[in-house]
Amino acid sequence: MWNSKVGRKKQKEKYEESKREKGSSFSEFFNMFFGETEKSIPKEDKHIPIKGENIETEINVKLEDAYYGLEKKISLRTVKGQMKTFAVKVPEGIRNGEKIRLLGQGKQGINGGKNGDLFIKINIENNKKFKLQGSDILTNVYISPWEAALGKNINIDSIEENFTLNIPAGTQSGEQIVIPNKGYKDGQGGRGNLIAKIQTVVPKKLTKQEEKLFRQLQDISTFNPRSEQKK
């Protein structure tokens, strides 16, 4: 004979078990999207110091400033929406893409944990005169056709000084002249090279005398640059 009390007891147990399973499923679903709630964190873990997250940003620095070093001020917006200004000391000779680390300037730690750090990536900007290539500096040197043909000593700039560069006779446009130890700092106490790329420039407008001389040269010269391509 069926006992109604026993039946009701079993039904109650199944119902409570079903509630626990549903509650557990909901808790797992909630934690999946929102992380553990404060109640779900074990009491013994609530007071463990947790270091704050690091923050990364980047700034542009002129080539000359990176070579000599400088102090640069940058402003960043905090997680609370406020602007905070940092004084960043860029060391002389810093490498392109290198990062500067400001200790404790990242996100705030939890439960007394240390703050995270701020990492600032340095992007070195080239300019119209100089282009950085590793520890070498590339510069364009513009000369006239007669300087290329006859050769000449000309004054050019490096990142530190002005000096005399010898252009050999017969120098071709596009040729490169390497000047040792006039480039960027290599991080080992030395310097890279200054690479002078020669660009021959033809005058857009000639005086009557210049035009006369060029026509005379054209008449007497046996040089044919197109024949060089056939060799």
- All domains of the chain, ordered by start, with CATH? 55-125 (2.60.260.20), 131-203 (2.60.260.20)
Q: How far from 60 is each of 4, 67, 124, 131, 226, CA to CA, in Å?
A: 82, 13, 6, 15, 45
Higher-confidence position of 78 and 26: 78
pLDDT of residue 231: 60
Count CB atoms within 10 A of the CB of residue 33.
6
pLDDT band at 42 (very low <50, low <70, confident <90, very high): low
Count CB atoms within 10 A of the CB of residue 231.
4
pLDDT of residue 11: 55
pLDDT of residue 1: 45
Q: For residue 112, what is the DSSP state? A: T
pLDDT of residue 14: 54
Q: pLDDT by residue (tens digit) across 153-169? A: 999 999 999 999 999 99
Strands of 130-193, DSSP E: 131-133, 136-143, 152-157, 162-167, 176-179
How much is the mean pLDDT over the chain?
84
Q: For residue 147, what is the DSSP state? A: H
pLDDT of residue 46: 65
Contact by Cβ (8 Å): 210, 145: no
pLDDT band at 36 (very low <50, low <70, confident <90, very high): very low
pLDDT of residue 182: 96
Residue with tokens 């002005």: 162
Contact by Cβ (8 Å): 98, 122: yes
Residues 6+ apart with CB under 8 A from 42: none
User: Among 57, 56, 49, 54, which Cα is nearest to 107's?
Assistant: 54
Residues 6+ apart with CB under 8 A from 196: 139, 140, 141, 156, 165, 176, 177, 178, 179
Distance CA 148, CA 187 (A): 36
pTM across the whole model:
0.73
pLDDT of residue 226: 85
Specify the range with the lowest mean pLDDT, choosing from 5-9, 17-21, 30-34, 61-65: 30-34
Structure tokens at 9: 């007891």
Structure tokens at 214: 């060029």
pLDDT of residue 101: 96
pLDDT band at 209 (very low <50, low <70, confident <90, very high): very high
